[in-house]
Structure 1
């Protein structure tokens, strides 16, 4: 037979005192004498008694857990963001529950529903590449579960968010390539759903305009972030009569696929074609052919700042629905390799 866990009632019966006296003694209530408190705690230790956390959480109206929904922990960017989140959460006695959407909105919805059922106190989210509707996040308001978005932030009003400004670093990235002598520069963007604000593209346009270089829309291609889609996008660029000698790419992972494919096509990296990308993941420094520069988006800081904002909402004494929406924007930085 399964052994039952000891209860406050059992402690009370063994000591011939009331349940309320045991409860107060375990919580060091000043109305309970020292001798009784010591006796209760000794008996609790002998019985291996553990407090009913569910009852405690119910009384406190907190579970001391926060949920994090992100595309894929395999990416160094998001694992670094988790480190930033835990750096703030753990010292505040909060546990972090992590769910990966794998860039699928249906997975995202299921994870969010599960976290709601587990009564997490708040949610941190980086949306999937095909998330275009946000009703599932909006519904959290009715359960008084605050949501803070980070990195992949929906371009809609009335959300709390932490992100990185990519416009100025995109201008800088294209100017860096122009400074290297490149005049035909392609741009490989991500899925349209992740480019609503499209600061990368806006910066690309601005840099070309600033240096009086023509904008050729045929040099702007898209990838759904898969290897096959990236290869098809590069094929499209290489099919142009005036082939680009450099490409600004959505992120480092896409750039690595593009570089690998370019080498299969017998192109010499940084001679026939060069790549600049985003994310600045550490693994690129160990490669023979990394992007020549990458935009640092500070995922650790994004995660930490998003968690701080979430705790600000959780600690707020005012109605969370009336709390002014905050959009924290960090400054990105072009790192030359």
Structure 2
């Protein structure tokens, strides 16, 4: 037997109220007094009333839902940011729709269509390594739906952004390697299209310059974050006539794979070659040797991004602010350096 789905009519009949009063009470309309609203909400819960969020959205132009799009879930970084953002949104009464693009531009575009179909009130997004065209994201702003970028951002769009000081983090970790006596420091860099890659490369160069070490282009290898390729690049560096005595990797997963390749070559870390990463992934303290890295305030990134988005949602479009929040990093020195 099919279960009867409770409707606004059922609640209105039970409390002897009009349908419009019940509807306004369920959506928090200020014209309904607190006592009536409480009665409606208590009965709705008792009867297991399920609100049709899309129908409510057509009336209020809000669904109390935000979207989150991230490029991957393979490292601990993006899951942690997402959970923190989701918790912050939940405190403000927002549900979340979460998509991951698997580092593919086409998937990211498809994800944005899912968000539009779900009529999200706002969108948090970190772009893929392939994303160079942003038309699919500009649609949201044209529709009056605010966007906040985090970690991997789009500089050509006027929207709030939450990032860490990638330049300073890279500068500090490379300076640490130099202080430990390293002179030929290689850098496995990320895709040049990503701002984080550019800023970490610039921090690397600045540390060399500060310490009067000549920049050697042959020691810098940009790669597309495909971990399967790391062994090729690391072996190439180790086979150079003058191999590096340290490798600074764009990310912890890259650094961890680098350590595995070096150990297979029979070299000792850090005696023969030091390795450092960036992000302080969960596994970085568990690998042997433990990884020297740059810690990011990951939970704070998610929390801050969600707060900025909710603030934008509650403002008129004309009052949207192009805010950039730059959070500090921390050098974590472990056994790999």
Smaller-chain TM-score bracket: 0.7 to 0.9
Alignment check: 8 A CA contact 1:221 1:237 kept: no
- Give the 5 Å matches for 1:198-237: 198-237=198-237
Alignment match, 1:81: 81
Note if 1:329 corresponds to 2:326: yes
Alignment check: 8 A CA contact 2:166 2:196 kept: no
Alignment check: 8 A CA contact 2:151 2:196 kept: no
Give the secondary structure class of the aligned counterpart of 2:193: helix
- Give the 5 Å matches for 1:307-318: 307-316=306-315
Give the secondary structure class of the aligned counterpart of 1:193: coil
Question: CA offset at residue 6 of structure 1?
Answer: 3.6
Query: Separation in 2 of the partners of 1:224 and 1:168?
Result: 23
Change (3 A) 1:154 1:255: same
Alignment match, 2:122: 122
Question: CA offset at residue 182 of structure 1?
Answer: 0.8
Give the secondary structure class of the aligned counterpart of 1:242: coil
Change (3 A) 1:54 1:112: closer
Computing the radius of gyration from Cα coordinates, the structure with the larger value is 1
Give the TM-score normalised by the residue count of structure 2.
0.88
Question: CA offset at residue 7 of structure 1?
Answer: 3.1
Give the TM-score normalised by the residue count of structure 1.
0.88
Query: Separation in 2 of the partners of 1:119 and 1:74?
Result: 28
Change (3 A) 1:88 1:31: closer
Change (3 A) 1:124 1:42: closer
Per-residue CA distance 1:171-223 (angstroms, 9 max, x = gap) = 21111111111111111101222247611111111111111111111011122
Question: CA offset at residue 298 of structure 1?
Answer: 1.4
Change (3 A) 1:21 1:241: closer
Alignment match, 1:306: 305
Per-residue CA distance 1:88-143 (angstroms, 9 max, x = gap) = 11111111211011101111111111111100111001111111111111111122
Structure 2: 5+ residue stretches without partners: none
- Give the 5 Å matches for 1:159-174: 159-174=159-174
Aligned residues: 334
- Give the 5 Å matches for 1:37-52: 49-52=49-52
Change (3 A) 1:54 1:331: same
Alignment check: 8 A CA contact 1:146 1:310 kept: yes
Change (3 A) 1:279 1:19: closer
Structure 1: 5+ residue stretches without partners: none
- Give the 5 Å matches for 1:272-283: 272-283=272-283
Query: Separation in 2 of the partners of 1:149 and 1:198?
Result: 17
Alignment check: 8 A CA contact 1:155 1:197 kept: no
Change (3 A) 1:176 1:315: same
Per-residue CA distance 1:37-90 (angstroms, 9 max, x = gap) = 999999878865555444333332211111100012231111111232123111
Alignment check: 8 A CA contact 1:221 1:236 kept: no
Alignment match, 2:269: 269
Alignment match, 2:67: 67
> Over aligned residues, Cα RMSD in angstroms?
3.2
Change (3 A) 1:57 1:238: same
Give the secondary structure class of the aligned counterpart of 1:284: helix
